[in-house]
């Protein structure tokens, strides 16, 4: 996760009112008027705080006629929270593995890729086992360009080339720290913060 975006995320959470808004909309969608009444503040105050939370990608919006309802983007909240932990407390650079361990890792990865991808490069199915799933996600992430901003449509089209359930793959890429999303724009995270399948059992 890029440092400036990590800082922006924490700035969005640095106000008590904004934290209370997130707590309320985590329970159920609420309109601006409802939030103002629940928190005892003015509508313009809610508008100001909602804007900050939207910029951080922490809110979903749904319009019903002339009313906008806000709900928590839990996926982004969890991803950015994990990103903070990974940045502050990075895992050791690598295991002090033996040559045999490294060889077994290579063998495992090659076996997963062979079993789950067709000769044409399509994904047969999304693995249920987390370790194997991470191997697949790593392979997909390696096809993307670090530093490039992708629109959601671009990511969807990219993932459709591998499997019809592109929404699940897209969500998993974010949850497992391969990608970062803000305002419907996706970017590849540095490899250092990717979830490591080698650390799983």
List, for residues 98-127, the tens digit of each pLDDT value. Answer: 666 777 888 999 999 999 999 999 999 999
- Does the pLDDT value for residue 151 go beyond 70? yes
Q: Helix (H, G, I), strand (E, B), or coil: what is residue 182?
A: strand
79 part of a folded domain? no
pLDDT band at 30 (very low <50, low <70, confident <90, very high): very high
The enclosing domain of 145 has a CATH number of 1.10.10
Q: What is the pLDDT of residue 96?
A: 47
E-strand ranges in the chain read: 30-31, 59-64, 67-72, 150-151, 179-182, 185-188
**What does each C-alpha distance from 200 to 121, 134, 197 come to in angstroms?**
25, 9, 5
pTM of the predicted model, to two decimals?
A: 0.56
The answer to whether 180 and 87 are in contact (CB under 8 A) is no
The whole-angstrom separation of Cα 115 and Cα 112 is 5
**What does each C-alpha distance from 7 to 62, 78, 192 come to in angstroms?**
27, 15, 18
Q: For the chain, what is the domain count?
A: 2
Report residue 160 CA to chain centroid gap.
18
Domain of 32 in residue numbering reads as 3-73
Q: Which of 73, 101, 119 corresponds to the end of one domain?
A: 73
Could you report the per-residue pLDDT of 66-106, keeping only the tens digit for each? 899 999 988 888 878 887 887 787 666 554 456 667 778 88
């Amino acid at each position: 996760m890029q440092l400036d975006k990590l800082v922006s995320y924490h700035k969005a959470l640095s106000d008590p009112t904004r934290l209370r808004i997130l707590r309320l909309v985590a329970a159920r969608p609420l309109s601006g008027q409802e939030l103002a009444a629940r928190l005892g503040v003015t509508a313009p105050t809610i508008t100001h705080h909602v804007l900050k939370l939207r910029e951080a990608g922490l809110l979903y919006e749904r319009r019903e006629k002339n009313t906008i309802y806000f709900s928590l983007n839990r996926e982004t909240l969890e991803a950015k929270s994990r990103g903070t932990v990974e940045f502050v407390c990075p895992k050791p650079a690598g295991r002090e593995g033996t040559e045999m361990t490294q060889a077994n890792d290579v063998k495992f990865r090659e076996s997963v890729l062979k079993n789950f991808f067709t000769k044409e490069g399509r994904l047969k199915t999304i693995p249920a086992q987390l370790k194997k799933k991470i191997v697949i996600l790593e392979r997909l992430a390696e096809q993307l360009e670090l530093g490039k901003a992708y629109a959601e449509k671009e990511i969807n089209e990219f993932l459709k080339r591998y499997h019809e359930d592109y929404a699940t793959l897209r969500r998993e890429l974010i949850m497992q720290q391969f990608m970062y999303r803000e305002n419907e724009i996706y970017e590849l995270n540095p490899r250092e913060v990717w979830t490591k399948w080698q650390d799983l059992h």
